[in-house]
Amino acid sequence: MLPKRRTRHIQTVRWLAINKICNIIWSKVSDALRGFGHRIPALVSGRLEGRPTPEHAEISIQVLTNLSRFKKKKKDMKNYLQIYSVSLLIVFSTSCKGQNKTGPPKESLSQTTINLIDNDPYFVETNTITTSYGPSSITRNIIQDRNGSIWFATWEGIIRYDGKSFTNFTNKEGLRRFHVFSVLEDKSGNIWFGTIGAGVYRYDGKSFTNFTTKEGLVHDSIGCIYEDKNGNIWFGTQGGASCYDGKNLPTGQPNFRNFTTNEGLTDNDINSIIEDKAGKLWFGTRGDACYYDASPAGRQGKTFTKFTNKEGVAFVNVRSIIEDKEGNIWLGGNDGLWRYDGSSLPTGQAGFTNFTTNFVGYIYEDKKGNIWTSSAANGNPHKWVLSRYDKKYLPYEKATVTQITIQEDMFFGILEDKEGGIWFGTLNGVCRYDASPSGRQGNTFNYFKDTGDKE
């Protein structure tokens, strides 16, 4: 029989390991639901505090139940949540039954934890490398590189479309199997991919380099990537913002500068980052939106300032921020779609136009200056709409909006390609929209499905 001190030590180690596993599993629920924030209870916080309880698993099941009511055809998301919920119940049940017994060896639990960290067990596995059809899972962001190839950040990895076929680089290059959330091509032609759990990858056209917290990144779950005018790469993460200048420290480590609430950020969970023409950096977060004065004249006292509307109320859970060709700042999120024209300092006194109060996920400006959004449809959170606000009507508060398509699928990142086609991500893949010259007949939606799939 083991001494009481030894028994208590083993139980403590066991609880810590179980708690860590639960935190990882619970974070997967939150990660899977990024983009559903306006419809999911606040209890889905992405992290457990203290010991795991049945409540966390029950909440997961409740979320699954509610989600399934309006996602009848979305088997991928439903299956993920079922796995998360059952896993939480199993871990909780195991932990409760073993409270008065000595647990398994620490090495066994440690290995389980390592496996959960190194590989996302809910990554959407595919066995293909090159196909004629596109992704079939959540596609969060899309870009077109300088060579004309289109890159997708998806739940099944990094995918490139060359105009003829789709190539899964996560499979081809044997990359870590984590959801890919964001993508950016920098001025040098490098392509950056942000993952949920594996940090960021940089692709130089030949090979991939992985940057994580081990290299100085503030957090390994990346919500957005942005390059400022000076060529610095900004990463918005679930634990703050990291700025990389492309240089190395004397130790050989990449030179990351990290910013969190300790430095004045309004919230550490960041959805969007942009730099405006005046040199201010804007941050859309899960909390309040803010801006950071990074202009040369203000280098001796750069601060984060909460951004508020004309009533002095902060913009909460801003998912997307852009600056249009006219220098206006657009914000989309819980508070709908807003435009700030910069006619006064951002103190809430003037210069604000609200175009919709529906939840807005993404904002994009096309070559003609039209504004595209993906948002909840007409106050109905169960349906989403891809919309276009025509430039010629934007000077007016009641701008004309064209609803391109409405469906139960959520819509994510938006891109206009070099031929004028509009790409957008969905819960189960990607679509390209081509408008006919007349705008009346011949509009096409190509979902790039396997011929064996039924849309």
Concatenated DSSP letters for 134-195? ---S-EEEEEE-TTS-EEEEETTEEEEE-SS-EEEHHHHHT-----EEEEEE-TTS-EEEEE
DSSP type of residue 268? S
What angle is formed at CA 235 by the lines to CA 230 and CA 240, rounded to 5 degrees?
120
What's the pLDDT at 450?
Answer: 87
CA 263 to chain centroid:
23
In tens digits, what is the pLDDT along the chain, a chain of 455 residues?
555 455 444 554 454 555 555 555 555 555 445 444 433 433 333 333 333 433 344 444 444 434 443 343 344 444 545 555 445 444 444 444 444 433 333 333 333 333 445 788 889 999 899 999 999 999 999 999 999 999 999 999 999 999 999 999 999 999 999 999 999 999 999 999 999 999 999 999 999 999 999 999 999 999 999 999 999 999 999 999 999 999 998 988 999 999 999 999 999 999 999 999 999 999 999 999 999 985 555 445 678 999 998 888 999 999 999 999 999 999 999 999 999 998 755 544 568 999 999 999 999 999 999 999 999 998 787 899 999 999 999 987 678 899 999 998 799 999 999 999 999 999 999 999 998 665 556 689 999 998 764 44
Instruction: Check: CB of residue 327 under 8 Å from CB of residue 282.
Output: no
Query: Rounded to whole angstroms, how far apart are CA atoms 330 and 354?
Result: 10
Which one, of 198, 184, 170, lies nearest residue 142 by Cα?
A: 184
Domain range annotation of the chain: 4-118, 132-446
SS3 261: helix
What's the pLDDT at 311?
Answer: 85
Topology (CATH) of 132-446: Methylamine Dehydrogenase; Chain H (2.130.10)
Strand partners, 333: 318, 336
Q: Which residue has the tokens 């890919």?
A: 180
CA 181 to chain centroid:
5
What angle is formed at CA 143 by the lines to CA 203 and CA 406, rounded to 5 degrees?
145
Query: Rounded to whole angstroms, how far apart are CA atoms 226 and 401?
Result: 28
CA 215 to chain centroid:
21
> Which tokens in the block code for residue 62?
């409740």
CB atoms within 10 A of CB 285: 27
The pTM for the full model equals 0.75
Helix-helix angle 106-118:4-32, to 10 degrees = 10
CA atoms in the 13 A half-sphere facing the CB of 435: 13
DSSP type of residue 122? T
**DSSP, residue by residue, 50-93:** SS--HHHHHHHHHHHHHHHHH-TT-HHHHHHHHHHHHHHHHHHH
Query: Rounded to whole angstroms, how far apart are CA atoms 192 and 210?
Result: 10
